[in-house]
A and B are shown apart, each in its own frame.
Chain A
Amino acid sequence: MADSGSEAIAVIGNTDLTPSESENNLKNTMVEKGTSLLKKMEISVAEAEKRTGKNAVNMQETYTVYLIETRPVDAASEGTNPALDSLWRRYSEFELLRNYLLVTYPFAVVPPLPEKRAEFVWHKLSADNMDPDFVERRRVGLENFLLRVASHPVLSSDKIFYLFLTEENGWKETMFETGFQAKADSRLKALNATFRVKNPDKRFAEMKHYGDELQSVISQLLRVRARAADRLYGVYKVHGNYGRVFSEWSAIEKEMGDGLQSAGHHMDAYAASVDDILEEEEHYADQLKEYLFYADALRTVCRKHELTQYELEMAVQDLTSKKQQREELATGTIRTFSLKGMTSKLFGQETPEQREAKLKMLETQIEEGEEQVKERNAECDEFVKSAWVDIERFKEQKDHDLRESLISYAIMQISMCKKGIQVWNNAKECFNKM
Chain B
Amino acid sequence: MSGSVVDNTVSSGNSSAAIPTDVSGQILDLDEDDDLEVFSKDTTLTDGSSFNASMQTSPASMINQYKFEEDADTKDIFVTVDNPESHVTAIETYITYRVMTKTTRSEFDSSEFEVRRRYQDFLWLKGRLEEAHPTLIVHPLPEKFVVKGMVERFNEDFIETRRRALHRFLNKIAEHPIFSSSEDFKIFLTAASGELTSHKKQGPGFLSRMGDTVKAVAAAVRGVRNRPQEFTEMQEYVEAFSQKIISLDKVTQRIVREQKEYLEELKECGPTYALWSQSEEELAEPLKNVAGCVDRCCKETEEQVKNLSDHLIPVLHEYVLCADTLKAVLRRRDNIQADFEAKTEALATKKANRDTESKVLSLAWASLVGRSPEEVKQQKLKGEIKEMRDDLDKAEDRLEWANNALKSDWTRWQKVMRTDLRSAFVDTAERNVSYYEKCLAVWESFLHSQRTDAEGNGKVDFS
Contact = CB atoms under 8 A, between A and B. Distances in A.
A352 to B, nearest CB: 64
Nearest to A232: B262
Contact of A252 (B244, B248, B421, B429): B244
Interface in A212-227: 213-214, 217-218, 220-221, 224-225, 227
A434 B421 CA distance: 9
B461 A410 contact: no
B379 interface: no
Interface stretch (A61-69, A357-365, A419-427): A419-427
A208 to B, nearest CB: 12
B305 to A, nearest CB: 10
B388 interface: no
A20 interface: yes
A201 B254 CA distance: 57
B240 interface: yes
Contacts of A407: 286, 447, 450
A402 interface: yes
Contacts of B287: 406
B251 A431 contact: no
A189 interface: no
- Interface size grouping (class) on chain A: 35 or more
B282 interface: yes
Nearest to A249: B244
Given A235-B255, A424-B432, A221 B269 contact: yes
Contact of A421 (B261, B272, B282, B437): B437
Contacts of B265: 224, 227-228, 230-231
Given A24-B460, A228-B262, A234-B261, A402 B283 contact: yes
B128 to A, nearest CB: 32
Interface in B403-454: 418, 421-422, 425-426, 429-430, 432-433, 435-437, 439-440, 443-444, 446-447, 450
Contacts of A411: 443, 447
A418 B435 CA distance: 11
Contact of B433 (A218, A220, A234, A424): A424
Interface stretch (A86-94, A109-117, A237-245): A237-245
A406 B279 contact: no
Given A235-B258, A242-B248, A431-B429, A210 B279 contact: yes
Given A406-B287, A420-B432, A414 B279 contact: no
Nearest to B441: A417
Contact of A242 (B240, B251, B262, B275): B251
B268 interface: yes
B248 A245 contact: yes
Overall SS of chain A's interface: helix
Given A402-B283, A410-B447, A234 B418 contact: no
A238 B258 contact: yes
B463 interface: yes
B258 A231 contact: yes
B66 interface: no
A151 to B, nearest CB: 18
A424 B436 contact: yes
Contacts of B283: 398-399, 402-403
A231 B263 CA distance: 9
Interface residues of B, number: 56
B290 interface: yes
B203 to A, nearest CB: 38
Given A214-B279, A232-B262, A220 B251 contact: no
Nearest to A421: B436
B446 A228 contact: no
B450 A403 contact: yes
Contact of B443 (A228, A242, A414): A414
A256 interface: yes
B444 A414 contact: yes
B124 interface: no
A349 interface: no
Contacts of A24: 460-462
A277 B299 CA distance: 21
A428 B430 CA distance: 7
A255 interface: yes
A252 B234 CA distance: 11
A63 to B, nearest CB: 35
Contacts of A431: 422, 425-426, 429
A409 interface: yes
Contacts of A403: 282-283, 286, 450
B196 interface: no
A238 B429 contact: no
A256 B287 CA distance: 49
Contact of A224 (B241, B269, B436): B269
Nearest to B255: A238
A432 B461 CA distance: 46
B376 to A, nearest CB: 60
Interface string A183-215: 000000000000000000000000000100110
B266 interface: yes
B276 interface: yes
B462 A434 contact: no
Nearest to A420: B436
Nearest to A266: B429
A354 to B, nearest CB: 61
B262 to A, nearest CB: 4
B251 A234 contact: no
Interface string B222-255: 0000000000000001001100100110010011
Contact of A256 (B266, B418, B447): B418
Nearest to A409: B290
Centre residue among B237, B251, B293, B461 by max chain A CB count within 10 A: B251
B449 to A, nearest CB: 10
Contacts of B293: 410
Contacts of B39: none
A44 B338 CA distance: 83
A255 B414 CA distance: 10
A224 B279 contact: no
A414 B440 contact: yes
Contacts of A39: none
Given A403-B286, A414-B443, 19 more contacts: A217-B272, A217-B275, A231-B265, A241-B254, A242-B251, A245-B247, A249-B248, A252-B237, A256-B422, A398-B283, A400-B459, A402-B283, A410-B293, A413-B443, A414-B440, A418-B436, A428-B426, A431-B429, A434-B422
Top 9 A-B residue pairs of the complex, sorted by shortest distance between their CB atoms: A428-B429, A231-B262, A420-B436, A417-B440, A228-B265, A249-B244, A424-B432, A399-B282, A434-B422
Interface of B: 237, 240-241, 244, 247-248, 251, 254-255, 258-259, 261-262, 264-266, 268-269, 272-273, 275-276, 279-283, 286-287, 290, 293, 297, 418, 421-422, 425-426, 429-430, 432-433, 435-437, 439-440, 443-444, 446-447, 450, 459-463
